[in-house]
Chains A and B, each alone.
Chain A
Amino acid sequence: MALLDVEDLSVTFARRGQRTVHAVDGVSFSVDAGEVVGLVGESGCGKSVTSLALMGLLPKQPGLRVGGKAVFDGTDLLQLDDRSRRDIRGRDIAMIFQDPLSSLNPVIPIGLQVTEVLTRHRGMKGAAAEKEAAALLDRVGIPDPKRRLKEYPHQLSGGMRQRALIAMAVACQPRLLIADEPTTALDVTIQAQILELLKDLVRDSGTALVMITHDLGVVAGMCDTVNVLYAGRVVETARRRPLFREPRHPYTVGLLGSVPRLDAGRGERLNPIPGSVRDVLPWPDGCAFAPRCARRVDECVGEPPALVLAHDGRSYRCVNPAPAPGTVPTPAATAPVVDDPLASAAAEATASPVPAPREEEKP
């Protein structure tokens, strides 16, 4: 039994006189205890709305419809009333947001914002709460935590703010942590610090982590299982290595081909996906990715492609997937993308400035 089981989650925003927006359109995925699950996609694919819906943070407005199920440890998060949701939020499930400056209250010292969680969920007060808060800040690597407690968010740097936010999130040792683009607003060296911190926290406490990001590099380094979203649906699910080694959905292939790699040479052409995220077909009329797809066939249009289940937990939503290497010769359009990771990984082994021992893949 998975820790979190999201089944057929859908979120629609309707407004009078305007087309209904299907932000999330039947997303299903599951998260096991201690697992890191990635939700990857470009802007507008519904990855953030998914996380907000799970946390019950979507603005309550007429026209908002949330459907489906999200079972966390036996309770359906979507059916909870506000009161019991508040009990779970922060204690069992916590969230880290993208922009720490806008998710911290600017007029309240950091310490108070951290102790608030402790007071609400763990009943700690006064000096004990303050001591625990200082310990938390110390744990996430903030130097001189006692002094930091009295400071305001604007006095901290971006990386420190994100650390403070993480300290608040892990204050009650939640079983599930949702991180929505936790490093997008940060510089690369700070990003590396934060990712390392998240990895340590997950490893030490056995917290499950849902990592929402657009950065395939972050996914490659962190996630056990990856869900690729496009236009509000999961188009491909796979374990980390198979996904990068042999992506099956053309969108995943396209994404991997679009990313310039640090270990690729100058002038190597990228293989971008033509068109933009606006060129979508509504899912009921066929595959939403069809207008941009290089492997489009007639069957793509007409009805939505069914989810194809492949071996070892892989699944993709495509009628004409990129062939797995070794079965059929890959067409020229996708070949460099599929072959590249292996070839350059071998080159990397000799060329890398900082070789390091290989780590075992997490079970």
Chain B
Amino acid sequence: MTESDILVEVRDLKVHFPIKRGVIFDRTVGHVKAVDGVDLRIARGKTYGLVGESGCGKSTLGRALLQLTPPTSGEVSFDGVELTTLPAGRLRTMRRRMQMIFQDPMSSLDPRQNVESILTEGLQTHGIGGSRDERRKIIGETLDAVGLPRWALSRYPHEFSGGQRQRIGIARALVLGPELIVADEPVSALDVSIQAQVVNLLDELQDSLGLTYLVIAHDLAVVRHISDTIGVMYLGALVEEAPGDRLYTEPLHPYTRALMSAVPVPDPDVEDRRERILLAGDLPSPANPPSGCRFHTRCPWAQPTRCADERPVLREIGASRVACHWAEQIATGELRPHKVSAQITRPAGEGEEPHVVSAPSEPGSYV
């Protein structure tokens, strides 16, 4: 991969949100480390898939990449231009080249704007298309590309079905002719049969327009279907990054293994044969992450040395990058998984003993 093939490069990106306390004086009592040191590179014309459970920081990373959420530190370079230090005006012009598709099309489209107005707004802001007719032409072509009829122009979002609304969202991103599209859970709000239509549409658009995607989703099967490279996030950091096929056949990080084994496959033969690696407990709070390897509290392969006190960095093993001290030993079967009991995790400051409530004597007599 040469330098010119890289469209986006993220270096040590951090996004920390302060936790405030107090009424008059806002005291910062801590930080939620939503994204805590992520490095990744997205090749031009390829799809980078980002997976992880809710709260792992994948959406924040996508937003920080587009500078919709200002990063705390780190660098994001887009086609050689450093975005984090770019003045607001220049950044705005850059936004034409990088667009976003949101999860819920109903809440990301203005209910009082018709489709034409939704699609024209971006064109006007960026001064694309000199006249109304020219803009109409661009919009018409975009509608064709996403498979919406021309009569859609005068309609409002509520008049469309969920799948069509998502197509409007895609058209809004496409109309500016971007190079990078960040799609945050593009299909999770849709029904299965509609999901497949939208996934196919994203695939076709990439083929015809040469788009670069960053697809953020919790559904591993969807991500695997459309991504060339997949990054797995856990508690604000990448734990493994590999080409899609390799991640599936040879997952190296224990978390990836658990994630892969948890995804239900619509095939009874596969379902009966496979072994589930059940993770105990829940995601720890990102305000108070575990020391060392963030996954060690739930890891079935956790070792008494290194795991709890030394934070693993991403290192290359074959074509993958993995953040685990023991990846090789786990891959060869030298280390065996052991049972982990669930630990109670809760956000900092909420750990107090709850007050005892006196019980009413009769059921249904709650006031």
B191: A residues at CB distance < 8 A: 42-43, 214, 276-277
B226 within 8 A of A: yes
**CB of B245 closer than 8 Å to a CB of A:** yes
**Smallest beta-carbon distance A123→chain B, Å:** 11
List chain A residues, Cβ under 8 A from B258: 189
- Looking across the interface, which residue of chain A has its beta carbon closest to that of B262? A192
A187 to B164, CA, bound (A): 26
* Chain A residue with the shortest CB-CB distance to B352: A155
Q: How far is the CB of B200 from chain A (nearest CB, A)?
A: 6
CB-defined contacts of A349 to chain B, threshold 8 Å? 273
Chain A residues near B194 (CB, 8 Å)?
Answer: 272, 276
- Residues on the A chain within 8 Å of B222, using CB: 260
Chain B residues touching A, majority SS: loop
Inter-chain CA distance A157–B251, complex, in Å, is: 28
Q: Contact between A268 and B225 (Cβ–Cβ < 8 Å)?
A: yes
| A240, CB-defined interface residue at 8 Å | yes
Shortest distance in angstroms between B39's beta carbon and chain A's nearest beta carbon? 23
A276 to B196 CA separation, bound complex (whole angstroms): 12
B262 touches A345 (CB 8 A): no
Contact B266 A359 (CB under 8 A): no
Could you give, for residues 96-115 of chain A, a 1 whenever the CB lies within 8 Å of some chain B CB and a 0 otherwise?
00000000010111001001
Tell which of B60-68, B111-119, B133-141, B356-364 binds the partner.
B356-364
Q: Give residues 140-193 of B contacting A (CB, 8 Å).
A: 161-164, 191-193
Query: 8 Å CB contacts to A: which residues of B331-367?
Result: 341-346, 350, 353-357, 359-360, 363-364, 366
Is the pair B278, A193 in contact by a Cβ cutoff of 8 Å?
yes
A268 and B226 alpha carbons, distance in the complex (Å): 9
Residues of A within 8 A of B203 (CB): 267, 269
Chain A residue numbers with a CB within 8 Å of B363 are: 116, 119-120
A195: B residues at CB distance < 8 A: 264
Q: Any chain B CB within 8 A of the CB of A215?
A: yes
Is B54 a contact of A187 with CB atoms below 8 Å? Answer: yes
CB distance from B225 to the nearest CB of A (A): 4
- Chain A: minimal CB distance from B282 (Å): 4
Measured between beta carbons, the chain B residues less than 8 angstroms from A356 are: 273-275
Query: Is the Cβ of A244 less than 8 Å from the Cβ of B274?
Result: no
B277 interface neighbour in A264, A274, A354, A357, Cβ under 8 Å: A354
Residue A32, interface by CB 8 Å: no
In the complex, whether B328 has a CB less than 8 A from a CB of chain A is no
Chain A residues near B350 (CB, 8 Å)? Answer: 155
By the criterion CB–CB under 8 Å, are B264 and A155 in contact? no
Closest A residue to B357 by beta carbon equals: A109
| Chain A residues, CB < 8 A from B163 | 276
- Binary flags per residue of B282-307, CB closer than 8 Å to A gives 1, else 0: 11000000000000000000000000
Report Cα–Cα, A143/B244, bound state, in Å.
36
CA distance A151 to B196 in the complex (A): 42
Query: Is A263 at the interface (CB under 8 A from chain B)?
Result: yes
> For the complex, what is the distance from the CA of A40 to the CA of B156, rounded to whole Å?
32
Q: Known: A187-B218, A341-B269. Contact between A259 and B192, CB under 8 A?
A: yes
**Pair A108/B272 contact, Cβ less than 8 Å:** no
Within 8 A of B (CB), among A143-170: 143-144, 147, 150-152, 155, 157-160
For B257, give the chain A residue with the smallest CB separation. Answer: A353
Confirm or deny: A56 has a beta carbon within 8 angstroms of a beta carbon on chain B. no
Task: Give the segment of A249-257, A280-288, A318-326 that binds chain B.
Answer: A249-257
Q: How far is the CB of B24 from chain A (nearest CB, A)?
A: 26
Using Cβ atoms and an 8 Å threshold, which residues of chain A touch B366?
105, 107-108
CA distance A75 to B25 in the complex (A): 64
Structural contact, A217 and B53, CB atoms closer than 8 A? no
The answer to the question of A82 belonging to the interface, with a C-beta cut-off of 8 Å to chain B, is no
Chain A positions within 8 Å of B79 at CB level: none
Task: State whether the Cβ of B233 lies closer than 8 Å to any Cβ in chain A.
Answer: no
Task: Indicate if the CB atoms of A262 and B248 lie closer than 8 Å.
Answer: yes
Contact of B344 among A141, A144, A256 (CB under 8 A): A144
Q: Are B264 and A353 in contact (CB under 8 A)?
A: no
**Residue contact B272 to A189, C-beta cutoff 8 Å:** no
Instruction: Give the chain A neighbours of B21 by CB distance below 8 A.
Output: none
User: Are A355 and B278 in touch, CB under 8 angstroms?
Assistant: no
A158 to B162, CA, bound (A): 26
A151 vs B267: C-alpha distance when bound (angstroms): 40
Contact flag A262-B342 (CB < 8 Å), given A189-B53, A244-B268 = no
Contact partners of B53 in chain A: CB under 8 A: 187-190
Q: Which of chain A's residues has its CB closest to B243's CB?
A: A266
Q: Residue B88 at the A interface, CB < 8 A?
A: no
The answer, among B162, B226, B251, B356, for a CB contact under 8 Å with A276, is B162
Q: Which of A42, A268, A359 contacts B272 (CB 8 A)?
A: A359
Q: Which residue of A lies closest to B207 (CB)?
A: A267
Q: Do B262 and A351 touch (CB < 8 A)?
A: no
Using CB atoms, name the residue of chain A closest to B342: A143
Q: A266, B264: Cβ atoms under 8 Å?
A: no
Query: Is A298 close to B, CB under 8 A?
Result: no
Is B317 interfacial (CB-CB < 8 Å)? Answer: no
Is B357 a contact of A112 with CB atoms below 8 Å?
yes
CB pair B346 A354 closer than 8 Å = no
User: Distance in Å from the Cβ of B224 to the closest Cβ of chain A?
Assistant: 6
Residue of B at shortest CB range from A270?
A: B196
A143 proximity list for chain B (CB < 8 A):
281, 341-344
Q: Is A278 an interface residue (CB 8 A)?
A: yes
A263 engages B265 (CB within 8 Å): yes
Shortest distance in angstroms between A35's beta carbon and chain B's nearest beta carbon? 15
- Pairwise interchain contact B270-A361, C-beta atoms closer than 8 A: no
Contact with B along A343-363 (1 / 0, CB 8 A): 011001101111111110100
Other A-B pairs beyond A218-B264, A261-B221, A351-B248, 11, CB < 8 Å: A43-B191, A155-B346, A157-B282, A189-B53, A196-B278, A240-B268, A262-B265, A266-B244, A271-B196, A352-B274, A353-B260
21 residue pairs of the A-B complex, CB under 8 angstroms, read A112-B359, A112-B360, A116-B363, A143-B341, A143-B344, A150-B355, A157-B282, A193-B279, A195-B264, A216-B192, A221-B264, A255-B192, A256-B266, A258-B192, A258-B193, A259-B266, A262-B260, A263-B248, A272-B195, A348-B270, A356-B273
Chain A residues with a Cβ under 8 A of chain B = 42-43, 105, 107-109, 112, 115-116, 119-120, 141, 143-144, 147, 150-152, 155, 157-160, 187-193, 195-196, 214-221, 240-241, 244, 254-274, 276-278, 341, 344-345, 348-349, 351-359, 361
B residues neighboring A (CB under 8 Å): 53-54, 161-164, 191-197, 199-200, 203, 218-222, 224-228, 244-245, 248-251, 257-279, 281-283, 341-346, 350, 353-357, 359-360, 363-364, 366
